[in-house]
Amino acid sequence: MTTSTDVNALLPRLWPRTAMRHPDGVLRIGGVSVADLADRFGTPAYLFDEHEFRTRCTEFRAAFHDFDVYYAAKAFLCKVAVRLVAQAGLNLDVCTGGELAVALAAGFPPERIVLHGNNKSAAEMHDALGYGVGRVVVDSLDEIDQLAALARRYRTRARVLVRVTAGVRSDAHDHNATGHLDQKFGIPVDGGAAAEAIGRVLGSGALDLRGVHTHLGSQILDTTAYGIAAGRAIALYAGVAATHGIQLPELNLGGGFGIAYTEADHPATPAELAAQLRRAAADACREHGIATPRLAVEPGRAIAGPAGCTLYRVGTVKRIDGVRTYVSVDGGVSDNIRPALFGTRYPVTLAGRASAAPPAPARVVGRHCDAGDIVVRDAFLPADVRSGDLLAVAATGAYCRSWANNFNHTPRPPVVAVSGGQARVVVRRETVEDLLRLDLG
Ligand code: PLP
């Protein structure tokens, strides 16, 4: 939550590195005034800070220099982002045919892509084999059989990882915790199901088993769970070595690294994360007497999240005496579902002018026909906030555009890339005509 004392401050952990307030009070991102952006491109708009995104890719690449690093496209995906990922030397994690199509359209090398999904369609598996996707993460016994049958039909061998649940509960929100047994992803290590799946892959004759994949959830700030998961995965590798006489060469530990949404959040740096995962895997391998496999991670939010902000314009301000001030903006749950789904608290600031008014509590809400349409539940904004003001919400680069929806037949906002004082639309604004075109009457 923004506190009452820092209403104009831009805490570096919460805002892109390029964010600064000009002496006239107007926020600049990527060297561009948000007032100019609002005039040129309208509001609401997602701002994509290319420098921040590129820098975060590079930081992960450097810190995890001895790992394979896959950017998780589900966090935020467009062709420009894909090209930045490629230039930074990262690989790409996709989980649908749609994400794969964007990656291929941007020219991303298929052999550097991993395909996820707990219920891949035949068409997605067909495309993965046809395009030569580097790794397919198989998520069930059914899928092992389906993929193996397809591979046999096409006389090819697919390189696969088996998605396992290591029985680890992280501090991720219930809606996206995926390391424990009682959820839809993965095959449990406990009870031998994962070992059975591995045997099934090895016996298929059509699948090239590279290792296993674990993913604990998202927005994880307490990173101890990664070490536990790595240890359990390595114990499984030791079992595979004993049973089948093979050393699995790779281990993918997934993504989930948290970012700061509030001043209270202190996420680990990529260097700290890499050191911790490297050490946990090495310790477990030593304990079990096996060689350390090639490790991989899949950061999504930690790369895209802080590289994005959302720009809104205030429509109405309603001051309910003795109760609360409601500041309504021109977007809401259609462009950011996360406050409703996860209760996420975002930083918000008055972005288009200076104000000397004292800070006052306010609730920033959207324009949708639902009382749960809240953008920032407990904000502090200058007491003179008024209709026509611009507000910027930070840390919306991950899981906002990618989770945007058309609630109330609202067209989705554009993505405007900003960099070095220049701005350009990289995903255009949807129009009502776009939506009507889908409705065949
Ligand atoms: N890898 C897998 C398999 C995922 O399911 C996800 C997200 O849910 C990620 C990576 C990326 O997670 P995050 O954006 O939290 O890093």
Q: Is 299 in the pocket of ligand 1 (CB under 6 A)?
A: yes
- What CATH number does the domain containing 424 carry? 2.40.37.10
pLDDT of residue 6: 57
- The C-alpha atoms of residue 69 and residue 71 are separated, in whole angstroms, by 7
Do residues 49 and 282 lie in contact, with contact meaning Cβ atoms separated by under 8 Å?
A: no
Mean pLDDT of 404-432: 98
Please tell me whether residues 179 and 247 are part of one structural domain.
yes
Assigned domain for 3 exists: no
* Ligand 1 centroid from CA 299, angstroms: 6
- The C-alpha atoms of residue 143 and residue 145 are separated, in whole angstroms, by 5
Q: Is 302 in the pocket of ligand 1 (CB under 6 A)?
A: yes
Please tell me whether residues 95 and 219 are part of one structural domain.
yes
Q: Which atom of ligand 1 is nearest to the CA of 398?
A: 14
pLDDT at 1 over 50: no
Q: What is the pLDDT of residues 294-307, one digit of tens each?
A: 999 999 999 999 99
Total domain count for the chain? 2
Question: Which tokens belong to 233?
Answer: 């995965």
pLDDT at 176 over 70: no
Please tell me whether residues 295 and 323 are part of one structural domain.
no
Mutation choice for ligand 1 from 218, 261, 277, 401, CB with most ligand atoms inside 8 A: 218
Please tell me whether residues 277 and 328 are part of one structural domain.
no
Q: What is the pLDDT of residues 238-260, one digit of tens each?
A: 999 999 999 999 999 999 999 99
pLDDT of residue 8: 66
In the listed set 274, 299, 324, which residue is the last one of a domain according to the structure?
299
The protein residue whose alpha carbon is closest to atom 9 in ligand 1 is: 255
* Residue 322 pLDDT grade (very low, low, confident, very high; cuts 50, 70, 90): very high
Residue whose entry in the numeric block shows the structure tokens 């009682």 = 182
Q: Which atom of ligand 1 is nearest to the CA of 304?
A: 14
* Residue 167 pLDDT grade (very low, low, confident, very high; cuts 50, 70, 90): confident
Please tell me whether residues 245 and 310 are part of one structural domain.
no
- What CATH number does the domain containing 104 carry? 3.20.20.10
pLDDT of residue 7: 63
Please tell me whether residues 210 and 277 are part of one structural domain.
yes
* Ligand 1 centroid from CA 179, angstroms: 12
pLDDT of residue 175: 67
Q: What is the pLDDT of residues 124-164, one digit of tens each?
A: 999 999 999 999 999 999 999 999 999 999 999 999 999 99
Buried b (16+ CB within 10 A) or exposed e, 410-419: bebbbbbbbb
Half-sphere exposure of 171 (CA within 13 A, CB side): 10
- 204 lies in which domain range? 77-299
Q: Is 256 in the pocket of ligand 1 (CB under 6 A)?
A: yes
Question: Which tokens belong to 319?
Answer: 């001051």
pLDDT of residue 3: 46
In the listed set 299, 320, 339, which residue is the last one of a domain according to the structure?
299
- Name the residue among 274, 280, 282, 232 with its Cα closest to residue 257: 274
Mean pLDDT of 190-213: 96
Q: Is 293 in the pocket of ligand 1 (CB under 6 A)?
A: no
Please tell me whether residues 36 and 118 are part of one structural domain.
no
Which residues neighbour 209 within 8 Å (Cβ) at sequence distance 6 or greater?
Answer: 160, 161, 162, 198, 201, 202, 248
* Alpha-helical runs (H) found in 245-346: 270-288, 301-304, 338-342
Please tell me whether residues 312 and 295 are part of one structural domain.
no
Q: Which atom of ligand 1 is nearest to the CA of 299?
A: 16
What is the DSSP code string of 229-243? HHHHHHHHHHHHHHH
Please tell me whether residues 140 and 273 are part of one structural domain.
yes
Mutation choice for ligand 1 from 77, 93, 175, 221, CB with most ligand atoms inside 8 A: 93
* Ligand 1 centroid from CA 176, angstroms: 9
Please tell me whether residues 284 and 374 are part of one structural domain.
no
Instruction: Kindly state the percentage of the chain with pLDDT values over 90.
Output: 92
In the listed set 254, 278, 299, which residue is the last one of a domain according to the structure?
299
- The C-alpha atoms of residue 205 and residue 182 are separated, in whole angstroms, by 31
Give catalytic residues, as residue numbers.
369
Assigned domain for 157 exists: yes
Which residues neighbour 340 within 8 Å (Cβ) at sequence distance 6 or greater?
Answer: 333, 372, 373, 374
Please tell me whether residues 92 and 241 are part of one structural domain.
yes
Please tell me whether residues 283 and 174 are part of one structural domain.
yes
